[in-house]
Amino acid sequence: MTFLLHRSTENTPPVAVKGEGIYLYDSKGKQYIDACGGAAVSCLGHGHPEVLEALHRQLDKVAYAHTGFFTSEAAEELAETLIDDAPQGLSHVYLVSGGSEAVEAALKMARQYFIERSEPQRRHIITRRQSYHGNTLGALSAGGNEWRRAQFAPLLIQTHHISPCYAYRFQNSTESAEEYAYRAAQELETKILELGRDQVMAFIAEPVVGATSGAVAAEKGYFKRIREICDQYGVLLILDEVMCGMGRTGTLYACEQDGVVPDLLTIAKGLGGGYQPIGAVLLSKELYDAFANGSGFFQHGHTYMAHPMAAAAAVAVQNVLKRDQLVPYVASMESYFKRKIHESFANSSYVGDIRGRGFFLGIELVEDKVTKQTFDPSLNLHTRIKQEALKNGLMVYPMGGTVDGKRGHHVLLAPPFTLKQSD
Ligand code: PLP
């Protein structure tokens, strides 16, 4: 008996009662290895004593103070920490409560930036077909997952989709990785010209695609070319690192590995490591100055933005990550982690591709390795894999994403950064 509307009305999930390190426990005492951090959230694992202490300290000071009246020490400290370590050019932070909120805020910042600059005609958003940017209406509009969008389509804002950079599926046998990356990026220029060279406000993309394609990083050179195109046509580049950011790929931000700096960078998940709901938008000095020298405010805001408890948790998580050198540790473990997955699955006739960066790895499942034929969607393979793994005390994150309109199947692994070889 439950009064909660759970994710599925067909079954009530086990009750989580305790978390410790890489493990979660349910009310029946069953232990689960959290090999996906929930949804790439729990970067420090569960029950980290220093984060719990920081939360207690903040609770003793002040739990909540509305941002229309006050700022807080925790929020100020978090913003300073983030900007200290941010890609050069990002100068300010806007704190929200999660990933979808961060994407919504970034899209509205992009729009208001062009209003401040007297370019109100810039209203188009370009995004990619294999992408997920959140479930609120604006963020869902930005995403390309047909299955998630379908029934809400009449409510979504208009966006324009181009192909992703997804070599396993779309690189031709006659072209090199660089040629493919260039070809994929050129679709952005074509789309901008189709919509009108001064009509587009932003292009949004995940540097490593998570929930829709299972840890797909773009080929080398793709984002460099994307940055050039955005600069050429005055289009803002929004990189969504809600899932792949905060050290998950072995550098604090995934875009560092692509050698690009966006105008707006969205983060969440690993920012607070699941200890509190928190997300953020990092924005460039140019955007900040446009607001500061223009209307003087960003016309947005949520009741719980920059929540002191959430900010205190995030400061503690980020301090532990830094002190314990966990991001370089993730980078150093990538080849071991990948090798182990290859050893376990490469000979399976249903594993088409193993990919990803750092502690953000994806396994693509196919019915036929040669033709890369996807499984029949009605098999609901992702649900069955999840349930079978749970039965065996393992949390992995399988998804039925889309591969050009059809449902594809992937399993995402995103364990806590504290995972050891001996685990
Ligand atoms: N953006 C990306 C890339 C995501 O992976 C997600 C969630 O999986 C979101 C945005 C939405 O974040 P949230 O679920 O915290 O609203």
Q: Which domains does the chain have, with CATH numbers?
A: 16-48+325-413 (3.90.1150.10), 53-323 (3.40.640.10)
What is the whole-number distance in angstroms between the Cα of residue 135 and the centre of ligand 1? 8
pLDDT at 251: 98
What is the whole-number distance in angstroms between the Cα of residue 127 and the centre of ligand 1? 15
Q: Is the pLDDT of residue 408 over 80?
A: no
**What SS3 string covers the chain?**
CCCCCCCCCCCCCCCEEEEEECEEEECCCCEEEECCHHHHCCCCCECCHHHHHHHHHHHHHCCCCCCCCCCCHHHHHHHHHHHHHCCCCEEEEEEECCHHHHHHHHHHHHHHHHHHCCCCCCCEEEEECCCCCCCCHHHHHHCCCHHHHHHHHHHCCCCEEECCCCHHHHCCCCCCHHHHHHHHHHHHHHHHHHHCCCCEEEEEECCEECCCCCCEECCCCHHHHHHHHHHHHCCEEEEECCCCCCCCCCCCCCHHHHCCCCCEEEECHHHCCCCCCCEEEEEEHHHHHHHHHCCCCCCCCCCCCCCHHHHHHHHHHHHHHHHCCHHHHHHHHHHHHHHHHHHHHCCCCCEEEEEEECCEEEEEECCECCCCECCCHHHCHHHHHHHHHHHCCEECEEECCEECCEECEEEEECCCCCCCCCC
pLDDT at 405: 60
Residues 161-196 pLDDT 10s: 999 999 999 999 999 999 999 999 999 999 999 999
Ligand 1, atom 7, residue with closest C-alpha: 134
- Residue 209 CA: which ligand 1 atom is closest? 3
Residues 82-96 pLDDT 10s: 999 999 999 999 999
Quote the pTM value. 0.98
- Residue 99 CA: which ligand 1 atom is closest? 12
Q: Is the pLDDT of residue 382 over 90?
A: no
Ligand 1, atom 13, residue with closest C-alpha: 99
Q: What is the ipTM of this complex?
A: 0.99
Q: Is the pLDDT of residue 213 over 90?
A: no
What is the whole-number distance in angstroms between the Cα of residue 371 and the centre of ligand 1? 31
Residues 386-405 pLDDT 10s: 999 999 999 999 987 666 66
